[in-house]
Structure 1
Amino acid sequence: MRFPTFLATTVLIVVSQLHAAQRPNVLFMMADDLNNSLGCYGHPLVKTPNLDKLAARGVRFQNANCQFPLCGPSRNSMLTGLYPNSTGILGNAQLFRQTIPNAVSLPQAFRRDGYFAARIGKLYHYGVPNSIGTNGHDDPASWELELNPAGCDRLLEHPDIFSLIPGNFGGTLSWYASPRPDEKHTDGLQAKDAEWILERCAKDKDRPFFLGLGFFRPHTPYVAPDKWFKGYPEAEMPVVQGVKEDQADLPKPALGSYKKEQDKLTDDLRRQAVQAYYSAISFMDAQAGKVLDALDRLGLTENTLVVFTSDHGYHLGEHGLWQKQSIFEESARVPLIIAGPGAKKGVVANTPVGLIDLYPTLTELCGVKAPKNLQGQSLVPMLKDAEAKGRGWVLSQVVRGGGFKRMGASAAKGDDGKRIFGYALRTDRWRYIEWDEGRSGKELYDHETDPKELTNLADQPAQAEVQAKLSEQLHGIVKTTFPASGKTPEIPQGSVMYNPELVDP
């Protein structure tokens, strides 16, 4: 009687091992503060050969957008599969465990399903550069292993970094061409750590892995080895023109991310900033290339899903804005490339999608059990057929006023201190924005004729019908971004997380 039991157990073990061997690995790579200035997205100057190569063997999403153009809210949304209105995270000093403690994060779902889940660098929010080398605002339940290297860019080079506010780097335009090689910088160390993990995973192919690799570049300070700066001559760097004319038809909250210190920018400084940003991108691309090469060398490429994206986009002077926290195209749009099992090779999907869609996509591709309350859509249809439309829209939001940190500049633009929300609905053709349900302004841009969003068509009679339909659609979608209770989870009073800082021993 024991033989059938033994046989059944043996079959179960064999089937389980076969299932594990068939399930894809996941390499989830993120850049920090990266817009779509990549070669594969058609940028005429920026050199990103490694990410271009990745795009050539996968699906590149042309119109991917974040859900909130700020590190903390965006990353919490992406890694929980919930909109910021359902996480309650609207700033950088919070983590979703404070508001929805029982939520299952994306890597946690993989870990629960038998995957080895590891993190290197910035997946959840980190204060940059001061939290480099620490766990930042990490979520311990998400990972089995965490590695936090800190390179010369963390402490050694701080005295040499130029900043619009001397000594202030993370939230201020700042940059430095370092004399030290790639391998001495944090992102270079992270690439080496990723190779180390992949080498060990390659020896245990019965257990699939989910490796999260979060690069810190091109986030300020834009620090990269000087060899990368040489590829971008300062005199050839573009400076945005016609800003005053562009701003004339904008509502005040649209410019609420402006920072007073940016008044110091001259055209020479603007060129230097752009040069440094592009250099940091190329440096980051080279580190991503080392990791992708390791996949090839170790025979892991064919069974590994590779995702590359950013937490949000970034302004380089467009509309008179720099950095993030607007819901213009430059700030809300992100690069997104998915390559590997289940994805077509070398195709472009034009339909609008969001970072919130990654959770249901990856769990479906890997056969991992996902929570039932995810709010994104699966991108699997687009990975199989780039012409698939899916929802056909993506929603982004931002906060203005109300005493939120990093919102002080909005007061200078006429904000009365009341907290308001801005929502941007991006469809195939249109970007439609309402501030405080339209009471504080509206914006409408036609991407067929105005891809740089220079002409606000809101409230023009010729677009009245289009605007009315988009407004109705926007309001309907916003209602779906809240939890079943209809109320945004609140952070317990006094529950503020502070960025840990690495100190020089």
Structure 2
Amino acid sequence: MRKKYILLSSLIVITLFGCKENKKVEEPKEQKRPNFLFVLVDDQSPFDFKFYDSTSSLDAPTITKLANDGMVVENARHMGAMVGAVCTPSRHMIMSGRTVWSLPSMQGYVNPTAPENLEENTIGAVFNRAGYNTMRTCKVGNSYPQANKQFTVVKDATKRGGTEESGSAWHAEQVLSYLDDRSAVKEEDPFFIYFGFSHPHDIRNGTPELLEKYGATNHTDKYSLPTANDKQPPLPDNYLNKHPFHHGHLELRDEENVSGVWKNRDEITVRNEIGREYACSENIDIQLNKVLSKLEAMGELDNTYVIYTSDHGIAVGRHGLMGKQNLYEHSWRVPLIVKGPGIKANQRVEGNIYLSDVLPTLCDLAGIDIPETVQGTSFKPVLMGEKESLRDVMYGVYAGGSTPGMRTVKKGDWKLIKYDVLDGKVQETQLFNIAENPNEYIAQHNKSAEMLNDLAENPKYADKLVEMEALLLEEMETYGDPFRLWNQEAK
């Protein structure tokens, strides 16, 4: 009996070892490189969306789902502009990863120290060298032409109309056609698609059905007001019919010559214009859904990083302003959503991210070396849940009108804005606690609570004002700001 047991045990051991030795070892699969869909819209405040402002009446189910499936960055901002067309330096910063005072010369701004041949280290060129197929569709003008040309496929045109051919659907069609071409030749190299829209920038000519939904009309008569309609979105909480002092840019197009608005700031005009803005934004949502659905059908969506943002925010009636040439939160901040491999769903972070951080982050996510010309910082650690934010302090500038212009700095809950414009005729300082006063109410909003106001003249916050003034100067020095404000030591 004992001999049988030993023999059986020996057979079992031999069988087990034999199985182990004969087991085929599978080679590890090479990890597929991620794709990128970078979605950039023109002139969109984060507060247009319910996930930034619960009072918004904009319907954007696709973008909202993107936010729920990925990460929403609470504080993402463009660093500013030294020219009136704010989108131009903003798009240069996105493409190059450079900060505002270190960009190439543009539109009257001359920077003799900008790197030569910088376009060779912009998004299209960098991803081409890394073996990506690159494609771009966006508006023409107010951008970075040398960088735009680096993409292999370029389908640019300005489309701000209310039809399939003249509006946002045209941009979506270019992307869908590009994806069809990839499928036809069974392309296996990863792609980088720069999916830019010309809307909701004015002229905000929405499609007829979406204009009807938001009670808006494409008003064209300068000498009459648009028709009032109960369907129009309500006025924003920080609406004013006039800003209390001049913003410093005389005859600024965005404040005086936008068709349908001009210099009007009455309730009917502003509500109609917000309705037009929402009609254009919902159409963008519809077009984005087409592209995301196509990627899902191709089996590519799960391996694609989708980044949604805007070149800057915009006022559209907030604080009595209409354009983006200001440094209030509605215009300085941008929406930023990122979804993709390794990013947990339904995340919301502080971020403190600049648009100049986009390029290094894209490189980091793709495993590409970040060019030495880049000055921004990768926020991949934020996306992967390793950090809550990139930096403690954020700085902003607008010097596209009279100089020095406007400056802002934010740290924690506190924000300072200063105005030194019109050859010293306007010299103003504002101090806000953003946690208590997120809408940046000022005296003209007639709020009774102390914190719901500009606190710059409040003696209780004199020490905080001094602290923020010093911090602003420090940031101006850090970023090579060539100007100084009236109460700062001359450079």
- What TM-score, normalized to structure 2? 0.76
Q: Deviations over 1:261-314 (max 9, x none)?
A: 543444322222111111111111111111111111111111111111000001
Match of 1:237 in 2: 233
Aligned equivalents of 1:471 and 1:56: distance in 2? 38
Alignment partner of 1:444 out of 414, 425, 431 = 431
Aligned equivalents of 1:54 and 1:147: distance in 2? 25
Query: Which residue identity lines up with residue 393 of structure 1 in the other structure?
Result: V
Query: Which residue identity lines up with residue 283 of structure 2 in the other structure?
Result: F
Alignment partner of 2:255 out of 255, 259, 271 = 259
Match of 2:408 in 1: 424
Q: CA deviation at 1:101?
A: 3.4
User: Are 1:145 and 2:150 counterparts?
Assistant: no
Aligned equivalents of 1:389 and 1:120: distance in 2? 31
Match of 1:224 in 2: 206
| Distance verdict in 2 for CA 1:44–1:243, change over 3 Å | closer
Match of 1:313 in 2: 313
Match of 2:356 in 1: 356
Aligned equivalents of 1:97 and 1:63: distance in 2? 32
Q: Deviations over 1:231-269 (max 9, x none)?
A: 223324323578669855x68549996734543444322
Q: CA deviation at 1:100?
A: 3.7
Q: Deviations over 1:322-356 (max 9, x none)?
A: 02111111111110011102322111112322111
Q: Is the Cα–Cα contact under 8 Å of residues 102 and 111 in structure 2 kept in the other structure? A: no
Match of 2:128 in 1: 111
Q: Is the Cα–Cα contact under 8 Å of residues 237 and 275 in structure 1 kept in the other structure? A: yes
Q: Is the Cα–Cα contact under 8 Å of residues 132 and 191 in structure 2 kept in the other structure? A: yes
Superposition map of 1:72-91 within 5 A: 72-89=88-105, 91=107
Q: Deviations over 1:414-435 (max 9, x none)?
A: xxxxx21422223331222234
Q: Is the Cα–Cα contact under 8 Å of residues 42 and 198 in structure 2 kept in the other structure? A: yes
Aligned equivalents of 2:249 and 2:371: distance in 1? 35
Match of 1:470 in 2: 468
Q: Deviations over 1:20-69 (max 9, x none)?
A: x5221111111111111123323530000010111111111111111226
Aligned equivalents of 1:268 and 1:309: distance in 2? 29
Q: Is the Cα–Cα contact under 8 Å of residues 375 and 481 in structure 1 kept in the other structure? A: no
Aligned length: 415
| Distance verdict in 2 for CA 1:251–1:341, change over 3 Å | same
Match of 2:397 in 1: 397
Aligned equivalents of 1:71 and 1:242: distance in 2? 24
Aligned equivalents of 1:201 and 1:424: distance in 2? 45
Match of 1:388 in 2: 388
Aligned equivalents of 2:98 and 2:340: distance in 1? 25
Aligned equivalents of 2:265 and 2:465: distance in 1? 36
Query: Which residue identity lines up with residue 333 of structure 1 in the other structure?
Result: R
Match of 2:74 in 1: 62
Aligned-residue Cα RMSD (Å) equals: 3.3
Q: Is the Cα–Cα contact under 8 Å of residues 78 and 355 in structure 1 kept in the other structure? A: yes
Unaligned segments of structure 2, at least 5 residues? 1-26, 216-228, 442-452, 484-491
Aligned equivalents of 1:241 and 1:263: distance in 2? 20
Aligned equivalents of 1:96 and 1:296: distance in 2? 44
Query: Which residue identity lines up with residue 77 of structure 1 in the other structure?
Result: M
| Distance verdict in 2 for CA 1:487–1:265, change over 3 Å | closer
Aligned equivalents of 1:338 and 1:426: distance in 2? 24
User: Are 1:101 and 2:116 counterparts?
Assistant: yes
Alignment partner of 2:190 out of 208, 216, 230 = 208
Aligned equivalents of 1:291 and 1:43: distance in 2? 28
Q: CA deviation at 1:400?
A: 4.7
Q: Is the Cα–Cα contact under 8 Å of residues 201 and 209 in structure 1 kept in the other structure? A: no
Q: Is the Cα–Cα contact under 8 Å of residues 326 and 398 in structure 1 kept in the other structure? A: yes
| Distance verdict in 2 for CA 1:147–1:324, change over 3 Å | same
* SS of equivalent residue, structure 2 residue 469: helix
Q: Deviations over 1:440-493 (max 9, x none)?
A: 3322111121111112222532222222332322222222324xxx979xxxxx
Q: Deviations over 1:81-109 (max 9, x none)?
A: 11120004565x78999954322112221
Q: Is the Cα–Cα contact under 8 Å of residues 137 and 171 in structure 2 kept in the other structure? A: yes
Q: Is the Cα–Cα contact under 8 Å of residues 172 and 288 in structure 2 kept in the other structure? A: yes
Aligned equivalents of 1:140 and 1:96: distance in 2? 20
Match of 2:455 in 1: 457
Q: Is the Cα–Cα contact under 8 Å of residues 54 and 337 in structure 1 kept in the other structure? A: yes
Match of 2:61 in 1: 49
Match of 1:410 in 2: none
Match of 1:284 in 2: 284
Q: RCO (CA 8 Å, sep 6+): is it higher in 1 or 2?
A: 1
Match of 2:168 in 1: 187
User: Are 1:29 and 2:27 counterparts?
Assistant: no
Aligned equivalents of 1:226 and 1:32: distance in 2? 21
Q: Is the Cα–Cα contact under 8 Å of residues 118 and 146 in structure 1 kept in the other structure? A: yes
Query: Which residue identity lines up with residue 409 of structure 2 in the other structure?
Result: L
* SS of equivalent residue, structure 2 residue 427: coil
* SS of equivalent residue, structure 1 residue 312: coil
User: Are 1:38 and 2:49 counterparts?
Assistant: yes
- What TM-score, normalized to structure 1? 0.74
Q: Is the Cα–Cα contact under 8 Å of residues 115 and 373 in structure 2 kept in the other structure? A: no
Q: CA deviation at 1:226?
A: 1.0
Match of 2:486 in 1: none
Match of 2:141 in 1: 126
* SS of equivalent residue, structure 2 residue 389: coil
Aligned equivalents of 2:251 and 2:419: distance in 1? 11
* SS of equivalent residue, structure 1 residue 305: strand
Which stretch shifts more, 22-31 or 459-468? Answer: 459-468
| Distance verdict in 2 for CA 1:337–1:424, change over 3 Å | same
| Distance verdict in 2 for CA 1:255–1:38, change over 3 Å | farther
